[in-house]
Structure 1
């Protein structure tokens, strides 16, 4: 059965078309567009009109790809921010008109389960695993093993949220970096997820994969080089330092950084660094598979 999964987050909207064969995914098409849906939501409590326009334009493209590929079932999941915004009805109507399905605003527990399932499929490394999904508006931490999820929590720290809250300089000032670090540490200090139990840190989604591309000095983004690659502690620290201290122009010149992440990747890298620093691991295992893959698997 050919299925389509769409994940609309704070910073990007992504599509996966895959064939479900004996409970496993055979990828047909995967694509991503930066839409910055969460633009200004922290302050306004509503999706900005221009952000909705970007989402709907990307959705038009994705709907056409789904139809051309012959997918028979589609599931659209959306960021939890869509649950509370004042103009959620406009968002729902626009999505439904384009895909023929309403967006699922999934619970934190289901988000954790889908993320963990997608990220750990076919992994052959020691568990328990801590899966870290660093998004634009939040960071999901999911601890689990081969039998499933043990503990999970969504933290209100994300690359877009922290950048909008604290950064106004170019390059980012030490005071701004200290403010980001304070916010990150405060939530990591109080998380209910026992991260010290993990033997493997699995990083997923655009922030982590971009950090990996920069760490490996890739001339351009290459999924085949990123998936299941490992970032050493030394490389992570050096990359985070560069991303947080460089100018916007310097980051823009790096072709492996998507233009839509240039402004916010420093804050995202800092979240990953602060998480890594308190764990008893010596590397980050990077996975290109995440909640999107979990959503596709859930359709069957």
Structure 2
């Protein structure tokens, strides 16, 4: 028997919904979940958090509007179990209680403000199921979010071996360093130096330089990969498990950082809500590949959202 579940991932930049049917245990350990709907809205919950330490009231309201729409979709599709995980922005905020109260009133369940370690485990679970045969373990999975980036090393069979979360997300780095339109060379250099320090610390902690395959998650990675492939529209099927070289990532990153916001908006695959932060997200990916010595990255459209969905399965279905 399948189990219908709803997973919500509320990050610093976006809020996403997945309603899916989990397979019957008899289908085998690698049987996929079956999507009913995947949705994403850019709500910028983490607007200004790095500077003020608080969630802005207008950011909470944007999130409430999107969440109310998701709640109606969940009810319509008849999900049996619902889990919402809130990540970096609501971990950092002094007024996280306001956010929690809004979620409970709107969705009917409390948000789980997951730790960096739990966020990493969920991302890894979602990412490694179904990886192609040429993706050699151990894997270094990096989830580049708005406020933080998770680094996880492990294998499909053994699970997570080590994980760490670093405060180098695309929104945080943009707000901290990339103020020009386009950013100046000095701003880019400052961001790169900040990112490199955090990446080196993360790669020593996990340890990421011993991994054989880099797997990249979230919108910064998939957007860079879509641009590198020359796609004229965003196509998740062509992006999922595509492999892109370091040289192509470096070229795309340099091009994005040289463009104004208006020019980035004109890129065919660009989501309007990502245009102002994609330069920083691409820079985080490029620095990770450089410091880890990774010749390529494998993009995954499956990430923490899928991990949240799998976490709602009975224990014997999760591995």
Q: Normalising by structure 1, what TM-score? A: 0.97
Deviates further, 33-42 or 182-191:
182-191
Structure 2 equivalent of residue 290 of structure 1: 303
In the TM superposition, what are the counterparts of 1:61-100 in structure 2 within 5 Å? 61-100=69-108
CA deviation after TM superposition for structure 1 residue 94, in Å: 1.1
Kindly report structure 1 stretches of 4+ aligned residues shifted beyond 4 Å: none
Which sections of structure 1, spanning at least 5 residues, go unmatched? none
CA deviation after TM superposition for structure 1 residue 81, in Å: 3.0
CA deviation after TM superposition for structure 1 residue 98, in Å: 1.7
CA deviation after TM superposition for structure 1 residue 255, in Å: 2.5
Alignment size in residue pairs: 300
Alpha-carbon distance in structure 1 between the residues aligned to 2:191 and 2:90: 24
Structure 2 equivalent of residue 141 of structure 1: 151
* 2:88 and 2:147 in contact (8 A); partners too: no
Alpha-carbon distance in structure 2 between the residues aligned to 1:101 and 1:7: 13
Alpha-carbon distance in structure 2 between the residues aligned to 1:201 and 1:228: 11
Structure 1 equivalent of residue 125 of structure 2: 117
CA RMSD, aligned part only? 1.1
* 1:63 and 1:98 in contact (8 A); partners too: yes
Equivalent residue of 2:45, what SS? coil
Alpha-carbon distance in structure 1 between the residues aligned to 2:231 and 2:150: 27
Alpha-carbon distance in structure 2 between the residues aligned to 1:179 and 1:40: 19
* 1:199 and 1:280 in contact (8 A); partners too: no
Alpha-carbon distance in structure 1 between the residues aligned to 2:296 and 2:91: 35
Alpha-carbon distance in structure 2 between the residues aligned to 1:88 and 1:238: 39
Which sections of structure 2, spanning at least 5 residues, go unmatched? 26-31, 314-319
Structure 1 equivalent of residue 17 of structure 2: 15
Structure 2 equivalent of residue 29 of structure 1: 37
CA deviation after TM superposition for structure 1 residue 6, in Å: 0.1
Deviates further, 263-272 or 91-100:
91-100
Structure 2 equivalent of residue 41 of structure 1: 49
2:253 aligns with one of 217, 225, 240: 240
Q: Aligned pair in 2 of structure 1 residues 26, 75: CA closer, same or farther (>3 Å)? A: same
